[in-house]
């Protein structure tokens, strides 16, 4: 049967091609031009971020955070196991040992209650992931980090426009990392941003961003020539990517409003089944806002989830599972010497994401939820 409701469909606001044309006609399409500045300023002003640097991905932003934190061989970095590869990979590239930690029982986010036992004198950094755009308990994470002298990076790839006790995510840890990959709320194909919240890292962040040179200072007229001053890479996107992103950012409120309406429609239609214990839906902690990045349910077992995926697929609906626990991945399993992480494994086996995109219609949500009810009846 052909798919009639895909899992994701990139939404275009209508201005993307106009802005790309403007960028092309301006004669400047390499990085850090007018559209890059506009995107960075918009994010800084809207969310009060200290400094935003656009990157070509969230993976790049995480790599910059790892380099800025000075992570190297012998250092340990705490990362949740139930996350995307990049959350760990960015630190593995620096030679760190990854200490994978478990999720909470009620949510894929890190279980901060059991984290302290995993901190050693070699621990340098804590990476929190705001799964589905739902905040981790950042007051507790930051207190723990301060007590043990750790730096904190927020993997806010899914967390644009979400808050913790009213504070924008990505702006609380020392570093915040966003993704604008086509599967996220705000997109530019492949793209991301690094948020630098601690002044100690500001100057070096710009240097790493522009291939280890102080070119940004040169263009501001702060130095009269620029050169190679540090390590770095080419982390900045071209103006073509920034132009696309600016069109999306200008529509952020409409995109968010639409996604929240869809999210609420799912919750209304599936709440009773969750209350009957057929599956688990995500409770939002009181400190977290909902940015409607994802709507998921957690099935009781891998078998049940596979059967539900097949049932939906038979009716043209594409629902998809998410991460496999990274501590069990082919790359890291041989290196992993920590405890069992049962909650991460349970989300790896049971979590199912339902279609969620701007152009999804309420009638289609009716259909999806009807098929889910049929499965559980």
Ligand X SMILES: *Cc1c(COP(=O)(O)O)cnc(C)c1O
The least distance separating ligand X from the CB of residue 211, rounded to whole angstroms, comes to 19
The least distance separating ligand X from the CB of residue 323, rounded to whole angstroms, comes to 8
Tokens representing 132 are: 């589905």
Chain center to CA of 264:
21
The least distance separating ligand X from the CB of residue 376, rounded to whole angstroms, comes to 28
**158 touches ligand X by CB under 6 A:** yes
**Residue of 13, 83, 103, 325 interacting with ligand X (CB under 6 A):** 83
Strand ranges in the chain using DSSP code E only, listed in sequence order? 51-55, 76-80, 97-101, 123-129, 151-155, 163-164, 167-168, 175-179, 192-196, 280-281, 296-298, 351-353
Concatenated DSSP letters for 331-359? TTGGG--S---HHHHHHHHHEEEPP--TT
The least distance separating ligand X from the CB of residue 180, rounded to whole angstroms, comes to 7
Binding mask 126-145 for ligand X (x = CB under 6 A): ---x----------------
**181 touches ligand X by CB under 6 A:** yes
Beta strands 151-155 and 123-129: pairing type? parallel
The least distance separating ligand X from the CB of residue 81, rounded to whole angstroms, comes to 12
Nearest alpha-carbon partner for 7 in 304, 257, 294: 294
**Residue of 192, 237, 350, 355 interacting with ligand X (CB under 6 A):** 192
In terms of CB distance, is 103 or 214 closer to ligand X?
103
**157 touches ligand X by CB under 6 A:** yes
Considering only residues 22-81, where is the footprint of ligand X by CB under 6 A?
57-59
d(CA 126, CA 124): 7
d(CA 63, CA 76): 15
**197 touches ligand X by CB under 6 A:** no
Contact status, residue 75 vs residue 120, Cβ threshold 8 Å: no
Considering only residues 204-243, where is the footprint of ligand X by CB under 6 A?
none
Contact status, residue 160 vs residue 185, Cβ threshold 8 Å: yes
Give me the residues that bind ligand X (CB under 6 A), please. 57-59, 83-84, 86-87, 129, 155, 157-158, 179, 181, 192
């Amino acid at each position: 049967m052909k798919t009639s409701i895909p899992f994701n469909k990139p939404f275009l606001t209508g201005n993307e091609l106009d802005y790309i044309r403007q960028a092309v006609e301006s004669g400047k399409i390499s990085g850090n031009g007018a559209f890059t500045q506009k995107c960075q300023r918009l994010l800084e002003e809207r969310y009060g971020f200290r400094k935003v640097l656009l990157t070509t991905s969230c993976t790049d932003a995480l790599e910059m955070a790892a380099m800025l934190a000075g992570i190297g061989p012998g250092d340990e970095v705490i990362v949740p196991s139930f996350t995307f590869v990049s959350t760990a990979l960015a630190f593995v590239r620096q030679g760190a040992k990854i200490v994978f930690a478990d999720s909470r029982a009620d949510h894929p986010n890190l279980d901060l209650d059991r984290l302290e036992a995993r901190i050693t004198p070699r621990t340098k950094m804590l990476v929190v992931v705001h799964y589905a755009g739902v905040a981790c308990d950042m007051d507790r994470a930051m207190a723990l980090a301060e007590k043990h002298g750790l730096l904190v990076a927020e993997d806010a790839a899914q967390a644009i426009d979400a808050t913790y006790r009213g504070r924008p995510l990505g702006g609380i840890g020392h570093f915040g990392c966003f993704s604008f990959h086509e599967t996220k709320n705000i997109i530019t194909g492949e793209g991301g941003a690094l948020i630098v919240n601690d002044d100690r890292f500001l100057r070096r962040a710009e240097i790493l961003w522009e291939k280890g040179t102080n070119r940004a200072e040169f263009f501001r007229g702060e130095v009269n020539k620029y050169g190679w001053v540090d390590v770095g890479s080419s982390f900045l996107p071209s103006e073509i990517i920034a132009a696309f992103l600016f069109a999306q950012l200008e529509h952020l409120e409409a995109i968010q409003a639409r996604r929240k309406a869809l999210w609420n429609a799912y919750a209304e239609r599936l709440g009773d089944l969750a209350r009957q214990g057929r599956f688990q839906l995500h409770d939002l902690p009181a400190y977290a806002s909902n940015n409607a990045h994802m709507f998921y349910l957690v099935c009781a077992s891998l078998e049940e989830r596979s059967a539900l995926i097949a049932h939906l697929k038979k009716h043209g609906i594409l629902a998809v599972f998410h991460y496999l626990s990274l501590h069990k991945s082919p790359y890291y399993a041989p290196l992993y010497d920590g405890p069992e992480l049962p909650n991460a494994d349970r989300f790896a086996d049971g979590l199912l994401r339902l279609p969620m995109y701007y152009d999804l219609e309420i009638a289609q949500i009716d259909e999806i939820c009807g098929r889910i009810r049929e499965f559980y009846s």
